[in-house]
Structure 1
Amino acid sequence: MYRIALLSSLFLLSLASANAQNDTLFKRVRYIKGDIKAFGVDNLENIYVLSSLGQLKKLNEKGDSVAVFNDIKKYGEASQIDVSNPLKVLLYYRDFSTIVILDRLLNVRTAIDLRRQNMFQVKSVALSYDSKIWVYDEMDSKLKKIDDDGRVLLETPDFRQLFGDAPMPVRLFDQDKYVYLYDPARAVYVFDYYGALKNKILITGWKNFRVAGKYFFGTSADQLYRYDITTFRYDEWKMPENLRNARQLDFSAGKVYALQADGIEIYNLQ
């Protein structure tokens, strides 16, 4: 708990001392047009775009289509795409409590009906480092790791016992030996691979939250934020108008991806 307090204090100090860095350039490098409702970016800079009709298409870094998933009516509307591993893509259909696992060519490998495992209130999922799957079960207030058959491999204690009021994470990320749960009303909760709480970082109110490499990214109003997990450095930039008005923002270590009405703009963050 001492480390939690220390990291929180360091973050607050860096936040208080941070100044807007208006000299930062957002240099647009590409525009990919199309009918795009949501998207995700993997670590090879492939972009996975979900159309308004539910078609999932994989585009390479040049914007060329390399794979398509067309089984759009079976599970309804996808609520989340996890493309952190290009070899194993997750589509989560919250209304049906179903995770569909695709291979690198977007062929279906399997589907997991979480209701068969008595998990009826899962808001977010994430692929783990060992190709298993993290889920946050709101009914039990537990973080759980499951395999491709839906079997629970490990689970945390009830968060209501750990924290009093259970967190309500909107996103999960598995990155560099840690699991991150982001509750925009409370904090970023950091767990190790065994489900033990390691840190609690007081970042709240961010939209478009993303863990990318050693950074947290997020936005609020017209500001873009970046927090270095290793050095506790906090950077803040004022975004140009077209980024402020984007429907969705996503990030890699050096790029910003902005979903507009007719496509995705890609910027180098310098």
Structure 2
Amino acid sequence: MFNSIRLLWFFLMPLPFLQAQDTLIFVKSVPAIGLDKVSQDNYGHLYISDKKGNINKYDSTGKFLMNYSPQKLGMVTLLEAFNTIKIFVFYRDFQEYLMLERFLGPMPYLPLKEEQIGFARLATLANDYNLWVIDETDFSLKKYDRQFNKVLYKTALDLILDARDYDITFLREYQNNLYINDRYSGILVFDVFGSYKKKISFKGLDFFAFHEDEMYYLQNDTIQFFHLYLLSNRSIPLPLKAKYVKVLVYNRKLYAIRPDGIDIYQIQKR
């Protein structure tokens, strides 16, 4: 009798892997040309660069708000808007970066000092307004003090990655950790002092983002979510053959980026 009750309870309980997936309801499309890098601030505003380095800002409904036209023509290597007050733009070809204010007014290009940073493959804004830099000259991760032009922390990467076979495409500080994406080996996790913690084995990615306590990314026409603390996974399939290249999520809205526009969906729980 007791075993029968246990068996009945097992079949009635809401097992996570049997629960229905969230569904997507199409809202609108926003046309654009040559979209490249994307980011989103804490208010849901979208920042999207094109292949000429122009940066467009949209509100959470997809309404165009304003544009930044660069003083130099060049592709943006990394665009980061999480701070909301300052929009960080890094140009690898120039070895320079911008700190745009939220109205995207013109600002001076700021160089990375060659004495401290040999050649920056990638750089991003830290929560304390300093920079995280991947320096290819000595293959290291550096925390760079913008005000005093000095390296605060340095971590050699040659014991973590193969210096002959890596492809670092993105990095982002979130909830007191730094996440670095290597397309070949996965996502490397460091603490705020640059000390290596672990590797998350998600390979083949170019870009990822965060929403609340989850990391998410686009892979095989599906949005994959990974809970940072529970280590659980969930997914939402996208329409087939839509040719999306990146996705962003905010307040139960999905922004699916195509090279020629943005499709906005409402995420509905089943």
TM-score, normalised by the number of residues in structure 2: 0.80
Aligned 1:34-183 pairs, distance under 5 A: 34-38=32-36, 39-72=38-71, 74-114=72-112, 116-117=114-115, 119-149=117-147, 151-160=149-158, 162-163=159-160, 165-166=162-163, 168-183=167-182
User: When the two structures are aligned, how many residues end up with a matched partner?
Assistant: 251
Give 1:179 deviation, angstroms.
0.7
Give 1:84 deviation, angstroms.
1.2
- Cα distance in 2 between the residues matched to 1:78 and 1:150: 25
- Cα distance in 2 between the residues matched to 1:260 and 1:239: 13
Q: Given the superposition, is the C-alpha separation of residues 168 and 242 from structure 1 closer, same or farther in structure 2, using an over 3 Å criterion?
A: closer
- Cα distance in 1 between the residues matched to 2:19 and 2:140: 39
- Cα distance in 2 between the residues matched to 1:267 and 1:215: 19
- Cα distance in 2 between the residues matched to 1:184 and 1:117: 29
Preserved contact between residue 218 and residue 245 of structure 2 (Cα < 8 Å) = no
Q: Given the superposition, is the C-alpha separation of residues 154 and 237 from structure 1 closer, same or farther in structure 2, using an over 3 Å criterion?
A: same
SS in 2 for 1:156: strand
Preserved contact between residue 78 and residue 170 of structure 2 (Cα < 8 Å) = no
Give 1:20 deviation, angstroms.
9.3
Give percent identity, aligned residues only. Answer: 23
Asked if 1:32 is matched to 2:30, the reply is: yes
252-261 or 127-136, larger mean C-alpha shift = 252-261
Q: Given the superposition, is the C-alpha separation of residues 81 and 47 from structure 1 closer, same or farther in structure 2, using an over 3 Å criterion?
A: same
2:102 aligned partner, one-letter code: R
More helix by share: 1
Where do 5+ consecutive residues of structure 2 fail to align?
1-14
SS in 1 for 2:114: helix
Larger RCO (CA within 8 A; separation ≥ 6): 1
Where do 5+ consecutive residues of structure 1 fail to align?
1-16
The Cα offsets for residues 143-182 of structure 1, whole Å up to 9 and x where unpaired, read as: 112233572342233121x336246421111101111111
* RMSD (Å), alpha carbons: 2.8
Q: Given the superposition, is the C-alpha separation of residues 79 and 18 from structure 1 closer, same or farther in structure 2, using an over 3 Å criterion?
A: farther
- Cα distance in 1 between the residues matched to 2:81 and 2:144: 17
Q: Which has the larger radius of gyration?
A: 2
